[in-house]
Amino acid sequence: MNRCTVCNSELDDRKKNCSRCHATLGYILFKGVVIGKSVLIILELILPAFFFLYGLAAQNTLGVWVCYLMLLIGLLGVGQLIMGPKWHKPD
């Protein structure tokens, strides 16, 4: 049995929303919206991969920094996927 970490009420394992406090299971809370796995993959893996290639193609100092930054975002995304989703309570 899953438990909501915000209000500690018991939840159905398949449920991604807490019916009591309206917390949502997801990866990032951004401006009141909880981001799920597919959006996380797009924002932190696919988009950075695209900019990484763009940085490589630029073949200048800025391009190198873009590559480093995108690698960092990608690693963050992978880390979050490994850690799994958390409960977030949008206000």
Interface residue list for Zn ion (CB under 5 A): 4, 6-7, 18, 20-21, 23
Tell the smallest beta-carbon distance from residue 17 to Zn ion (Å).
9
In whole angstroms, what separates CA 17 from the centre of its chain? 17
CB of 39 to Zn ion, least distance (A): 22
Least distance CB 80 / Zn ion (angstroms): 21
**Residue 62 tokens, joined:** 């800025």
Residue whose CB is less far from Zn ion, 6 or 41: 6
Task: Return the number of the residue (7 or 39) whose C-beta is nearest Zn ion.
Answer: 7
Which C-beta is closer to Zn ion: that of 23 or that of 70?
23
| CB hemisphere CA count around 78 (13 angstroms) | 8
Q: Which residues 6+ apart lie within 8 Å of 52 measured at CB?
A: 66, 67, 70, 71, 74
